[in-house]
Structure 1
């Protein structure tokens, strides 16, 4: 079944009727930030444009009250102006290739209750002499304002927005463009669908509806994929279809027709990743420095700094450690591994993993956040949260279904301790449970947990395990390793996922002739990935044959991962 995504598209459509010269969507701030500091930030928490464009002013950038309600509202950060004489200024826009008669300025504006011209818009060609230009507010809240005259042709155009009141004005999606009434194409909101959902690298298709097609030669330049569907030159209303876009990559489409241009920007990268079959085990045998979300068994739930693979494993009695591990700190992308949905038809769901808090930095005492959760498969729906709270030079672990808690275990852990966590949910009893450093050999459902929590609303489905990066003031540096997810506690020590592929045989081992044979009971298509002892991927192939060419591998010891029909096994491989 195809997974359908509704995507926000920043569209230069019928409002532009021509060449876009400058556009700014204000990025995505992590919090309230003054203009000078935001100008030097790191994407996406900074302005979309860099030198020669420069930003200044006494206003600030915020993530609250995001833009909406007008075509192509980006919905990220916006500039807030809320004091008399407070201003936002943009310098360095080059409009010299166009005549003033064709130049226009548009911007999203959130206007306070009194719809009057209390926000002054001015332009300058030297940054010193300013000329007001007129716009007419069209309503309360977010609207799109357009100034159709008075924008000069200049190599150094500056624009300044200044408030004459203490009322709040918000600005977003500022655009300077050249008007051409012969350009009538209007692009609509796209959808994207995965062409397949497998453990291999899949592709997706983007469909962009349009109106206003007219005769003439349109040129399409996609960032990737193949353009098809309806041609606006012959079909006035239809859909442009771009197929073969690689999953995990974003998409843009640039269209030209004579002097008219249209840009479809910032279609977010989507993942076409299937749910992992249970029991699921991940020893994180990924290339050091690679993003966890780039793997086929994990997917980023949002944007930001990635959770990264690091060298080495964590060790704990009763856990066989191989591969590498992953680490995260501060703010960044949340990353989820989806698994086969468990419901009340199952007795429960249990996740075992190892953690090591390696550095608490300058995080304040008693600071609390949650960093690992059970979800219902939607990464936004946290059903069971594992909390961490700084306590002097040590820390405590907590458990709750809610986003805040006072439910912490009394045990204090030190920075550098390896802690084994078993996080579980009993469907029949509607009870979240957590065990910290249990004796795995004797752990059962009857073993008294360190913490329990009863959700206000019983959990009906669990389908994901998520690692969360909160903020620089809350999330310490955490290493995570040796994750295993099962429907029973016994499964945490039962048959390993390494034996979950029925009839798996790997021979000869050691290999001396350059060919490794991998056979299974199903003999279905398999993805074969080989890592060296440092966790670097050295071979990746998908095949339905039993023979795998490993002649490119040097003498040494490797880890080979085999994935077949949603099940994954790991074996040590020796090349002679």
Structure 2
């Protein structure tokens, strides 16, 4: 099977998973790892080696790298549309101020959510994060915009963040009120507090749903989105799901659970527990589609018919459920 690792960006709150994450576990272009190019020069957005670090988090995989002057914009669809209030979070690093708009400008946006997904008709973006240079050298500012329309303008946080230092961000977008809230470095694992800034200047009506995350490059090498690194994306409908300290995909509540080998190399993986009782095993692909479901007392699970990539495996035994990330090579 072709050796490509897909991104595990699965909005599985509808399937009962407590957390969802997107560690950039693959290599090469994002559009070869589960994302769809909807604008610009395809293949420019890539996965870069090494995770970003932020105190209180356990990170994995690599990171996405936006490059000043590149133009590709991509999106990654959710498993199911989200309505009401949505949250997303990410660890960000701006390595330098090359290509950023000046502190006196409105900046440019590089991440947000969309009502649609795919390769066409992905044009309306909400809950956007903006970036520009800070008021002193080698710093940057972050801001948020709710939507487009009217005299829409981002609201910036006044803090000058130093380049090369990771920042943890959370955006809350309320479809009912068309309000976007930006939280900068909130307490890891804490409760939702007061946002750092809010924005409701865009007058275009809020969409009926959120269907994807988007990453955007402005295509201007001297006055655009600049160079930005992004890691550990999460999108969900609760604060806790995007701000908890562990980036694992599910809590192991089955005593003695062991899933191996992982990565799977020969089309078979094994599940053992202390009870070794009959269990239901369900595997989901990167867009949340169920690709395997079986109830068995055997430990061996055959996945030889599945393509290489990142999956989620949900195991239920004696009334308890656990979820694991599963890599198939």
Common topology (TM > 0.5): yes
- Residue in structure 1 matched with residue 23 of structure 2 by the alignment: 283
Residue 448 (str. 1) matches residue 194 (str. 2): yes
Structure with larger Rg: 1
Contact 1:374 1:385 in 2 (8 A): yes
Q: In structure 2, what is the Cα distance between the partners aligned to 1:299 and 1:479?
A: 19
Provide, for residues 528-569 of structure 1, a one-character-per-residue CA deviation record: whole Å limited to 9, x for no partner: 9xxxxxxxxxxxxx877944699xxxxxxxxx943359x984
Q: In structure 1, what is the Cα distance between the partners aligned to 2:189 and 2:240?
A: 9
Contiguous gaps of at least 5 residues in structure 1: 1-199, 202-273, 529-541, 551-559
- Residue in structure 2 matched with residue 349 of structure 1 by the alignment: 86
Deviation at 1:284, TM superposition (A): 0.8
Q: In structure 2, what is the Cα distance between the partners aligned to 1:458 and 1:399?
A: 15
Contact 1:276 1:337 in 2 (8 A): no
Q: 1:524 to 1:501 in 2, by over 3 A?
A: farther
Q: 1:527 to 1:383 in 2, by over 3 A?
A: closer
Residue 300 (str. 1) matches residue 37 (str. 2): yes
Q: In structure 2, what is the Cα distance between the partners aligned to 1:362 and 1:350?
A: 28
Residue 400 (str. 1) matches residue 145 (str. 2): yes
- Residue in structure 1 matched with residue 116 of structure 2 by the alignment: 377
Structure having the larger proportion of residues in strand: 1
Contiguous gaps of at least 5 residues in structure 2: 3-8, 14-18, 273-277, 295-299, 315-321
Alignment partner of 1:333 out of 43, 65, 72 = 72
- Relative contact order: is structure 1 or structure 2 higher (C-alpha 8 Å, sep ≥ 6)? 2
Residue 390 (str. 1) matches residue 104 (str. 2): no
Q: In structure 2, what is the Cα distance between the partners aligned to 1:543 and 1:461?
A: 28
- Residue in structure 2 matched with residue 570 of structure 1 by the alignment: 325
SS of equivalent residue, structure 1 residue 442 = coil
Q: 1:503 to 1:388 in 2, by over 3 A?
A: same
Deviation at 1:464, TM superposition (A): 1.3
Deviation at 1:364, TM superposition (A): 5.3
SS of equivalent residue, structure 2 residue 98 = coil
Contact 1:502 1:522 in 2 (8 A): no
| Larger displacement relative to structure 2 (390-399 or 350-359) | 390-399
- Residue in structure 2 matched with residue 498 of structure 1 by the alignment: 249
- Residue in structure 1 matched with residue 318 of structure 2 by the alignment: none
Q: 1:463 to 1:521 in 2, by over 3 A?
A: farther
SS of equivalent residue, structure 2 residue 94 = strand
Contact 2:283 2:311 in 1 (8 A): no
Q: In structure 2, what is the Cα distance between the partners aligned to 1:328 and 1:401?
A: 22
Provide, for residues 131-167 of structure 1, a one-character-per-residue CA deviation record: whole Å limited to 9, x for no partner: xxxxxxxxxxxxxxxxxxxxxxxxxxxxxxxxxxxxx
Contact 1:341 1:377 in 2 (8 A): no
Q: In structure 2, what is the Cα distance between the partners aligned to 1:480 and 1:324?
A: 9
- Residue in structure 1 matched with residue 225 of structure 2 by the alignment: 475
Structure 2 counterparts to residues 360-439 of structure 1, below 5 A: 360-361=97-98, 363=100, 365-366=102-103, 368-378=107-117, 379-391=122-134, 392-393=136-137, 394-403=139-148, 405-439=153-187
| Larger displacement relative to structure 2 (411-420 or 394-403) | 394-403
TM-score (norm 1): 0.41
- Residue in structure 2 matched with residue 517 of structure 1 by the alignment: 270
Q: In structure 2, what is the Cα distance between the partners aligned to 1:331 and 1:480?
A: 16
- Residue in structure 2 matched with residue 319 of structure 1 by the alignment: 57
Q: 1:430 to 1:335 in 2, by over 3 A?
A: same
SS of equivalent residue, structure 2 residue 31 = helix
Q: How many residues were matched structurally?
A: 270
Contact 1:373 1:385 in 2 (8 A): yes
Superposition RMSD on alpha carbons, in Å?
Answer: 3.9
Structure 2 counterparts to residues 34-113 of structure 1, below 5 A: none
Q: In structure 1, what is the Cα distance between the partners aligned to 2:211 and 2:303?
A: 36
